[in-house]
Structure 1
Amino acid sequence: MKTRNLLSGVALMATVIWGCQPYDMPPIIPQTGSSISSPAAGTSIVLEKDGADENSIDFTVTAADFGTTGTVRYILEVDAAGAQFAAPVALGESDSNIISVNVAELNEALLGKGLEFGVAGQADFRVKATINLPLNPIYGETLTLTVTPYDATVAFPVMYVPGDYQGWDPSNEATVLYSVNFDNKFKGYVHILGGSREFKVNETNSWDINYGDNGADGSLERDGSNLKVAADGTYELNVDLAAKTYTIGEVKRWGIVGSATAGGWDTDTPMDVFDKTTNSLKITTDLKAGEFKFRANNNWDNNFGGGNGELTGGGPNIAIAADGNYTITLNFGAEAVTYTLTKN
């Protein structure tokens, strides 16, 4: 019994002594991001429209060091100057120290970030480096360049929204959602007036990659069940393609209201015609000399006014100079809400 207690005491002392020994932390492996060596800081670039689809600009980057060996890939990213790469656009990638960037794609990205065509503006560039190991990407220093884009229509990435409302046509280039930040988050408006009120969202203008929702829970599944809304009207539709999720906003029934309309300023005259070729609402009606606005749901929570075809939320009344029969359209585009007004 005494021997057992003695051995227990020795074991306890050993544990205490061992526990007091200094503990060596595992070494921290230093990592170095890839930086852009060419073009150099302060460089001014003027993009040329001629040959833009075929021409490219080469960015030279330094080697990234992950502190271990592996296959490293370099991705060049751009964002608006000072935006802290909140929504970067990937311009190109390479396994070497040269990343070739298509001029047309760079121009689109810069216009999408708010730079004006024909005007020198600043944009931030950086290199994202990845390795074929379970390690996080590392980013190099930001390089600010002065770039002058050329005049071009920005071709935002799109998702297609075929459904009963437009004839289940995935090739319709008008009934689409736009990713104005080039970040795989898409937004648009679906005008559903009658029919089954069912639709889907597609990655391409075919049925090859289409999504539905099998559980009506806001998640998207490839080849899933049709999405569906309960009532006729216009819906804001948002899709996060990376997360495979979507949201559908509250229904809005758009109409016109004002002294020029049959209902005056009290009652909306509904826009009950949908033009699938332009993804717009339309109405042909008699108007009196006076004014009108666009309004949803017979209240002023959502209304548009303006002039010269451009609309702003809560904007000024639109004038009608003379009595007559008019055709009016309302269109929710990628970046603006517009209208047309034609006297028949």
Structure 2
Amino acid sequence: MMKRTAIIFAIIFGIGILNSCEEDKDHVLDMSEAVAPQFTNPDHGSAYILEEENELEPLFTFQWSAAEYKAEGLPDVRYLMQAVKTSIGWDNPDSIIDIVETRNTSHDVSVRGMNRIAFNRLNIPAFETDEISFRLQAFLTRANTQTWLFSEPLTISVTTYESVGEASILNVPGSYQGWDPGNNQTVVYSPEDDDLYEGYLFFEEDDTEYKFAKGSWDENWGDDDADGNLQPDGANIIAELAGVYRINADMNEFTHTQFRTEWALIGSAALGWDTDVPMEVDLEYWEENWKVRYVITLDLEPGHFKFRANGAWDPPAGLNMGIDDDAEEGVLMYGGFGNDIPIDEAGTYTVILDLTGPVYRYELHKE
């Protein structure tokens, strides 16, 4: 039975996680021999006073020792760095935030990046000092929790400044916009300044080509093998079909994805939770602003609705968005984090789905 289980694990995860026995030695990873990663920089207890006039300057580089799994033929180790206010602690999962996921054993952070962690995400008030704890989670696959290894926490103190949290951008020059790497409208956004970028772009023609750039051709990335990995000065990336695409780029790992979307409105306020009402791209808005938004005018009844892409609720087939009750009015969130949008009064409404980013929004206008 042990041999059979090991083979099943090997098929699913590339390795079996069981207690050691001689006949299974080729398939078994003994986690009692695994070594967790540990921070080597900065020093535990370091203190940093963050100042807005220096926000573009490097603050420090997180560095850590590599996790060790005592077996051959394993997938690459990945590291998830997380943070929490020290006063709250790791026993409160809702208060823990993810910083970066990487295969590297280091991560650079700027003054602005740390302030966004402290002020924008952990809600440390401006000009106040508080302690933040960081930890590393090493894993071979997220799905198999038995491979997870956690570092000892690293605690630093941070004094914040008030920040409006303006998102970083990555340009997306391409055949659809004249190959202009300096066009700051055709971009994807990194709201957390963590080099994880996302945005929506409209490609009017099949086989549209594009790349990623930092404002000029001096720094640009393409995909030589069309396998989702980015290389400096790499080959053009191709979107085979015309349409609206969600574009993601991870500039920590130099990977990218594209996901073609067709958005609709769905819910009890419209035709029910089983029937999509397709929305149309606002072409005039795109031509004037290089930004994606959808518009529809329809009759709505008292009830609720959400926005759904590709006739499916969740990846890999589709997406959905609803309202963020903790944010300002009109802000949308993906999936289960977004709640149903209420309609209190029957009537004819113009509904706008605004995907211009970095924050997605909606508008309701009753005629």
TM-score, normalised with respect to structure 1:
0.57
Q: Which residue of 2 aligns with 1:202?
A: 212
Unaligned runs of 5+ in 2: 1-39, 60-80, 85-89, 91-96, 136-151
- Structure 1 residue 309: deviation in Å? 0.8
Whether 1:270 and 2:279 are equivalent positions in the alignment is yes
Q: Which residue of 1 aligns with 2:345?
A: 321
- Structure 1 residue 283: deviation in Å? 0.6
**Partner amino acid, structure 2, of 1:316:** D
Q: Which residue of 1 aligns with 2:108?
A: 90
- Structure 1 residue 254: deviation in Å? 0.9
For the residues of structure 1 that align with 2:179 and 2:158, how far apart are their CA atoms? 42
**Counterparts in 2 of 1:125-274, with a 5 A limit?**
144-166=155-177, 168-179=179-190, 182=193, 184=195, 186-241=196-251, 243-249=253-259, 251-258=260-267, 260-261=269-270, 265=273, 266-273=275-282
Q: Which residue of 2 aligns with 1:138?
A: none
For the residues of structure 2 that align with 1:234 and 1:211, how far apart are their CA atoms? 21
Q: Which residue of 1 aligns with 2:83?
A: 80
Shift of the 320–153 alpha-carbon distance from structure 1 to 2, 3 Å rule, reads same
Larger Rg: 1
Q: Which residue of 1 aligns with 2:32?
A: none
Unaligned runs of 5+ in 1: 1-32, 60-77, 93-101, 127-140
Secondary structure at 2:276's aligned position in 1? coil
Whether 1:310 and 2:334 are equivalent positions in the alignment is no
- Structure 1 residue 46: deviation in Å? 7.0
Shift of the 35–145 alpha-carbon distance from structure 1 to 2, 3 Å rule, reads closer
- Structure 1 residue 272: deviation in Å? 2.2
Shift of the 113–303 alpha-carbon distance from structure 1 to 2, 3 Å rule, reads closer
For the residues of structure 2 that align with 1:35 and 1:245, how far apart are their CA atoms? 27
Q: Which residue of 1 aligns with 2:361?
A: 338
- Structure 1 residue 325: deviation in Å? 4.6
- The counterpart of 1:297, out of the listed 310, 314, 317, is 310
Structure showing the higher helix proportion among its residues: 2
Secondary structure at 2:362's aligned position in 1? strand
- Structure 1 residue 190: deviation in Å? 3.0
Contact 2:295 2:351 in 1 (8 A): yes
- Structure 1 residue 326: deviation in Å? 1.5
Contact 1:201 1:212 in 2 (8 A): yes
Whether 1:280 and 2:292 are equivalent positions in the alignment is yes
Over the aligned positions, Cα root-mean-square deviation in angstroms equals 4.4
TM-score, normalised with respect to structure 2:
0.54
CA deviations 1:105-148 (Å, max 9, x no partner) are: 6424534653444465422589xxxxxxxxxxxxxx98634434
